[in-house]
Chain A
Amino acid sequence: MSETAQEKWGMVIDLDRCNGCQACVTACSLENNVGFVGEESAAYGRGMHWIRIQRYWEGEYPNITARFRPVMCQQCGHAPCEPVCPVFATYHSEAEQINVQVYNRCIGTRYCANNCPYVARTFNWFDWEWPEPLNEQLNPDVTVRRRGIMEKCTFCIQRIRKGEEDAEAEGREVADGEIQPACAQACPADAIVFGNLADPESRVSRLARSARAEKLLEELGTETKVIYLKGGSSRDR
């Protein structure tokens, strides 16, 4: 395995802009046909969210504040989930340089989820229902997953493919900002920026070179493709 992972698609999340509003969470779920599980299953931790906002309390009343951090699959260059899958359902896409999940191959061993340091993978413990006519809302570009299947954020690969195909049909390169996953598109604070990390001039590359840039659990050497920009301190009075 090479020391540095190849780069292509990446995401920058500016925690100084993010205010934890959850628009990305809902947008992701509706784009990707993520099932809703109801109160009891949600209380058991079976929620299927591909992206979640982690809220951390800091300090004690009255000098208290909360911080927000959206976390989804970090699309590791060296992904702990990949080598443990016995059926190659979770593997690395050489073309897109992201981790993809082949639902048809998955047999539900859940090894990948146990090995993911970011708790980014969710497992379909049951078949979730979309009572008619709610099923009319399902996105035809995304497979509806069944019970016993592992799933996770795909960087909205259906949108990446669509953007690439459109560009190819017109005989041009994909323009910067042309492809947007659902979370980045919805974000009202413009905190999430998606683009090509291999292009040093792309907006995401420029932001990723910020002095505020950090990666989650960087010491694990997972070479994640999601880069966070640290928020300003609210406790520096």
Chain B
Amino acid sequence: MSQQISRREFLKLLGAGAVTTAALSGCASATRLVKREPYTSMPEYTLPGTSTYYATTCRECPAGCGLVVRTVEGRAIKVEGNPAHPVSQGHTCARGQASVQTLYNPDRLQNAVRQAQRGSGKFDPMPWDEAIQVVQDALANNDPDSIAFLLGLESDHLADLVNEITAAMGARAPYRFGALGMLDARNTLVMANVLLFGHPGLPVFDIAHAEVTFSFGANFTETWLSPVFYTGAYGNMRKGTPGQRGYLVQFEPRMSQTGANADEWYPIKPGTEALVAQALGALVAEEIGIPTEGLFADVDVAAAARESGVSEEDLHRLAMMFAQSQRRVAIPGAGALGHTNGLDAAKAIMGLNILVENLGKSGGVSLMPESALGNTQMPSTLNDLTSLVEKMNSGKIKVLFIHGCNPVFELPAASGFADALQNVPLVVAFSSFPDETALQADFILPDHTGLEAWGYQKVSTASDRITLSSLQPVVVPVQDTRATADVLLAAVQAIGGDLAKQVPYENEVAFIKAKLEVLVGEDGYYAASDANTLWARWLQVGGWWDSDALLIAPDLTHAVEVLQKQPSALPAAAFSGDEAEYPLHLLVYPSPNLGDGRGANNPWLQETPDPMTTVMWNSWIEISPDLALELGVCDDDIVRVTSPAGSVEAVVYVYPAIRPDTVAIPVGQGHTALGRYARNRGCNPLQLLDIQKDASGNLAFAATRVKIEPTGRKHQLARMEDRVGVYGDRYGELYR
């Protein structure tokens, strides 16, 4: 506990019966005057024993779920969903629930620090005015071309502000990166949307009303795009429409939690998703009597069946089911798009939607209209990030500001980002935690965590209407942190001149208020006739959204034309690693509990069992029982996993629902920093990935092959399930 007087201790003090009014010194800020008051006249909102609720937005992933946080006497106690919010609809996921442990995490940075030697972990505290001076000097004394910002996928208000600053300076627009975006294959999906519909955004899939859903590797109840929204949609797909139980078919090499809930699960060969979609499309077109042109012309169904492992009989039956149902949707998920032919797979799978003309319809595919605050800036492609790494290596980047992401941990080692950092003279990280990237910085100027922060998130997908979600602090900052937007604005104001005129905001809140002016008088969930009313309602309601569901129907004619011009012979997926030396496909997926790894220092996320394996506090490699017998390994054996790009050690979990030629490792563990609960636990499979891209420039994260060698050592995984009787009688040897 810091030596400052916390709200709670303060209440203890006044419990002693002090009725006189006094100013206490030693509080966090000189401007904060604390008065002793009797219980009978407490400050507004802080009646002892009474909860106060604040609406805000979750920052544990980019989805932008609306929260209502219960606070008691100045402490954040419980995260709940915002019932009025179109994304979360009153619910939360495990990661959102645990965000109070991000806020009160014992390993947070307590103030701004200077790190004399990068990687040493020896931090010298520095006052905030010096920290702002560092930013000011960096911005003022460097060529704008040599300054780069690397931002995370949340919050959007900071991305908007940095875009304004870089535009005013003539510097490069910020890069945006997050492992969740990378492992969702967001860029590929956006690119497919641009090519097919001319829309630079993500599609929205109306799973809730679909009778038949074909999901190609979309783990939408776990981490994909917006898990709370899509899990709600899943529940309604099953039971939301009286007399209808939606049917889910999942195609993926390793059974995800979403796949476990599917009515039919097909373990197709990695990289053959496009072939399956093409075959289904050709059969669907035949069934509904439309000519097959372009992408779906002359498809060899027998060959697709042979390649993918789905029988011809099943393909015919599934195509009939899709063609004959009233509302059907096909989802191009991350597993399908994370291959070198990912963009083709996206087009082929979206092609199924185009064939059955479900665009803009109930149970179909729609697009998110542009909000009054503009479109969300999409994540940078791996191509963009590779060019950033090249610029860093060639010495063209003198200053790198990093906020909201942990690229040293989240980017594959093969990308060379960590090494390139050494060639940047000044690295400033704004991380709230001493994570792997922050440890490679010269200065760490910690931002507030989500529950202490102002901001907004422009919901880019997974809502049925335009949604702007607001963030407000639910408690005063726990540590001596400062909002990155405030730090940047203070530096800009100190620089003065044209820059300060073009970015004239006094602080973060002034910036947000200025952005919100366009909403004054707009008709939505509420209408506010003036800026102050809007601000009050914005904070009270938790954002701004349309009063009615409203999405755009994609342009069918254009999409059909594109598909007609597309040749039906598609390139096969390419893999890194020779098949003879590296016989196994590696699949990495974000851990449903830990997400991209930032949750790894939240003890309750560590102790929440993984949905499929029930493992806690560690990571593992999923190996099919047959492969385990072949390799002579069993549960809890440590094996060495080697790819052309790297090598890690992982503990075996014999997983009965994975192809024998595929192994899978969750992303999220394997931290060397971040905090006591995260450090030295499990492995980080991103270090195994070779750099392979698809046509959109996104990382083909499923395109690396590996080999496995037993080490002879064991580590007993903490799992909730019993160890005996899980795999059936054939595999008795696995119980050794």
Instruction: Enumerate chain A interface residues (CB-CB to B < 8 A).
Output: 14, 16-17, 19-23, 25-27, 29-31, 36-40, 42-43, 47, 49, 52-55, 57, 60-62, 64-68, 131-140, 182, 185-191, 232, 234, 236-237
When the two chains form their complex, are residues B657 and A61 in contact, meaning their CB atoms are under 8 A apart?
A: yes
B23 at the interface (CB under 8 A from A): no
Q: A17-B235, A17-B238 are in contact. Are A30 and B91 (CB under 8 A)?
A: no
> Nearest A residue to B88 by beta-carbon distance?
A188
When the two chains form their complex, are residues A21 and B106 in contact, meaning their CB atoms are under 8 A apart?
A: no
When the two chains form their complex, are residues A133 and B1 in contact, meaning their CB atoms are under 8 A apart?
A: yes
When the two chains form their complex, are residues A189 and B234 in contact, meaning their CB atoms are under 8 A apart?
A: yes
When the two chains form their complex, are residues B607 and A186 in contact, meaning their CB atoms are under 8 A apart?
A: no
B104 at the interface (CB under 8 A from A): yes
Known contacts A16-B238, A188-B92, A188-B231, then 20 further A-B pairs from the complex at CB < 8 Å, ordered by chain A residue: A17-B238, A19-B258, A21-B257, A21-B611, A26-B604, A27-B97, A29-B607, A30-B101, A40-B718, A55-B260, A55-B611, A65-B265, A65-B657, A66-B260, A136-B6, A137-B75, A137-B104, A185-B80, A234-B264, A237-B264
**Segment from B167-175, B564-572, B720-728 that makes contact with A:** B720-728
| A213 CA to B611 CA, complexed, in Å | 24
Contact residues in A for B265 (Cβ distance below 8 Å): 62, 64-65, 234
**Segment from B34-42, B221-229, B274-282, B575-583 that makes contact with A:** B221-229
| A84 CA to B495 CA, complexed, in Å | 75
| A60 CA to B658 CA, complexed, in Å | 11
| A131 CA to B101 CA, complexed, in Å | 11
When the two chains form their complex, are residues A19 and B75 in contact, meaning their CB atoms are under 8 A apart?
A: no
When the two chains form their complex, are residues A137 and B657 in contact, meaning their CB atoms are under 8 A apart?
A: no
| Range of interface residues on B (Cβ < 8 Å) | 35 or more
When the two chains form their complex, are residues A136 and B75 in contact, meaning their CB atoms are under 8 A apart?
A: yes
The B78-116 residues at the A interface (CB cut-off 8 A) are: 78-81, 88, 90-94, 97-98, 100-101, 103-106
Interface pairs (24), CB distance under 8 Å: A17-B239, A19-B261, A21-B231, A22-B593, A22-B608, A43-B717, A49-B720, A55-B260, A60-B728, A60-B730, A61-B626, A65-B262, A66-B255, A66-B657, A134-B101, A136-B478, A137-B104, A186-B97, A187-B91, A189-B231, A191-B235, A232-B238, A232-B245, A237-B264
When the two chains form their complex, are residues B616 and A39 in contact, meaning their CB atoms are under 8 A apart?
A: yes
| A153 CA to B262 CA, complexed, in Å | 30
When the two chains form their complex, are residues A188 and B609 in contact, meaning their CB atoms are under 8 A apart?
A: no
**Distance of B302 from chain A, by nearest CB (Å):** 19
B501 at the interface (CB under 8 A from A): no
Contact residues in A for B625 (Cβ distance below 8 Å): 61
When the two chains form their complex, are residues A36 and B606 in contact, meaning their CB atoms are under 8 A apart?
A: yes
B305 at the interface (CB under 8 A from A): no
Q: A21-B227, A26-B94, A30-B97 are in contact. Are A133 and B478 (CB under 8 A)?
A: yes
Instruction: Enumerate chain B interface residues (CB-CB to A < 8 A).
Output: 1, 6, 8, 49, 72-73, 75-81, 88, 90-94, 97-98, 100-101, 103-106, 221-222, 227-228, 231-232, 234-236, 238-239, 245, 255, 257-258, 260-267, 478, 592-593, 603-609, 611-612, 614, 616-618, 624-626, 656-658, 681, 716-721, 726-728, 730
Contact residues in A for B227 (Cβ distance below 8 Å): 21, 188
Pick the residue among B93, B262, B681, B721 that contacts A23 (CB under 8 A).
B93
When the two chains form their complex, are residues B81 and A185 in contact, meaning their CB atoms are under 8 A apart?
A: yes
**Distance of B254 from chain A, by nearest CB (Å):** 11
| A161 CA to B641 CA, complexed, in Å | 54
When the two chains form their complex, are residues A47 and B78 in contact, meaning their CB atoms are under 8 A apart?
A: no
When the two chains form their complex, are residues B260 and A25 in contact, meaning their CB atoms are under 8 A apart?
A: no
Pick the residue among B8, B657, B720, B721 that contacts A136 (CB under 8 A).
B8
Contact residues in B for A186 (Cβ distance below 8 Å): 80-81, 91-93, 97
> Nearest A residue to B8 by beta-carbon distance?
A136
| A23 CA to B592 CA, complexed, in Å | 10
**Distance of B24 from chain A, by nearest CB (Å):** 19
When the two chains form their complex, are residues A140 and B72 in contact, meaning their CB atoms are under 8 A apart?
A: yes
**Distance of A117 from chain B, by nearest CB (Å):** 16
**Distance of A126 from chain B, by nearest CB (Å):** 14
Q: A26-B94, A61-B657, A136-B478 are in contact. Are A39 and B718 (CB under 8 A)?
A: yes
| A138 CA to B78 CA, complexed, in Å | 9
Contact residues in A for B90 (Cβ distance below 8 Å): 185
When the two chains form their complex, are residues B608 and A25 in contact, meaning their CB atoms are under 8 A apart?
A: yes
> Nearest A residue to B229 by beta-carbon distance?
A188
| A21 CA to B242 CA, complexed, in Å | 24
**Distance of A166 from chain B, by nearest CB (Å):** 11
| A4 CA to B352 CA, complexed, in Å | 55
> Nearest B residue to A162 by beta-carbon distance?
B51
Q: A25-B609, A137-B101 are in contact. Are A188 and B228 (CB under 8 A)?
A: yes
Pick the residue among A25, A68, A132, A137 that contacts B94 (CB under 8 A).
A25
Contact residues in B for A31 (Cβ distance below 8 Å): 78
